[in-house]
Amino acid sequence: MKAAPVSISCKGLTLRFPVYGVDAKSLKKSLAKITVGGRLGSSHGTTEVTAISNLSLELKAGDRLGLIGHNGSGKTTLLRALSGAYEPDEGEIEVRGRIAPLLDLNLGIDPSASGYENIRLRGRIAGLSAREVDARMDEIAAFTGLGPFLAVPVKTYSAGMQARLAFAAATSVEADVLLMDEWIAVGDAEFQQLAHKRLLKLVERAGILVLASHDLDLLRLYCNKVMRMEGGVASPVTDIKKLDELMNA
């Protein structure tokens, strides 16, 4: 049976989050002073923020979408929604293909478990079977450069060693849809070069890339489309050549 083509479809996507223990009037005054964050409202007596409002989006294989906008504009919330972490309050999301969300490298890392055990855990979280994880184990272990340290608990690692392990495990999955919140740079200069090459291969193999970043040159380099988020409201998707125009809109 032929696999369905990779795609992302959002129709009227709206996400709201309740805010507890905060006076709505004072929060409105605070939000009015800044240019980020969603719209404030209330439902059933509970103060809530609309993080994404009525967003529609269609992406197909070959699309490389860059997300721009201030911190708090809704970029990360959208990425998490596409990954399946958030259910829409209104509208719908349909993602076809295996998703690799490179949003939090430390997600699923167990400090008490060994490096090998954590590689297996991250692989299973990513949807790999035990056999698939074992088939990738030697390559992942070699890429970390941690050698015998992979057999000891992660809580004994330095921050750099943990970053190597997390990056190697997170980028070992073949992805149809790659979601990234900023370009990942971990470890020392030598490892960063290796990590960059590994990421490039992952991006090249992915059917769709959605990358949120403040680095405009990076977006021009790797993306062919761009969308601006502002207060949870998205602009239409446009060609990356219009990035400067969109920034100044």
Q: Over the stretch 3-25, which tens digit does the pLDDT of each residue have?
A: 568 999 999 999 998 876 555 55
Would 152 be classed as within a structural domain? yes
Q: Are residues 17 and 72 in the same domain?
A: yes
Share of the chain above pLDDT 70, in %: 88
Evaluate whether residue 135 is within a structural domain: yes
- Asked if 141 and 64 sit in the same domain, the reply is no
- Is the same domain home to 201 and 175? yes
Expressed as residue numbers, the domain containing 25 is: 7-98+211-247
Would you say residue 167 has pLDDT above 70? yes
Distance CA 105, CA 135 (A): 21
Residues 183 and 198 in one domain: yes
- Tell whether 192 is covered by a domain: yes
The two structure tokens encoding residue 146: 């941690």
Q: How many domains does the chain have?
A: 2
Residue 111 is part of a domain; what is its CATH number? Answer: 3.40.50.300
- Based on the fold, state whether residues 115 and 21 are members of the same structural domain: no
Is residue 156 located within the same domain as residue 194? yes
- Is residue 2 in some structural domain? no
Is there a single domain that holds both residue 109 and residue 205?
Answer: yes
- The predicted pLDDT at position 1 comes to 45
pLDDT greater at residue 107 or residue 5: 5
Residue 41 pLDDT > 80: no
**221 shares its domain with 178:** no
Q: Are residues 29 and 93 in the same domain?
A: yes
For the segment 169-215, what is each residue's pLDDT rounded down to a tens digit? 989 888 899 999 999 888 888 899 999 999 999 999 999 999 999 99
User: Residue 125's pLDDT is what?
Assistant: 82
Percent above pLDDT 90 for the chain: 66
Residue of 26 and 227 predicted with greater confidence: 227
Asked if 202 and 110 sit in the same domain, the reply is: yes
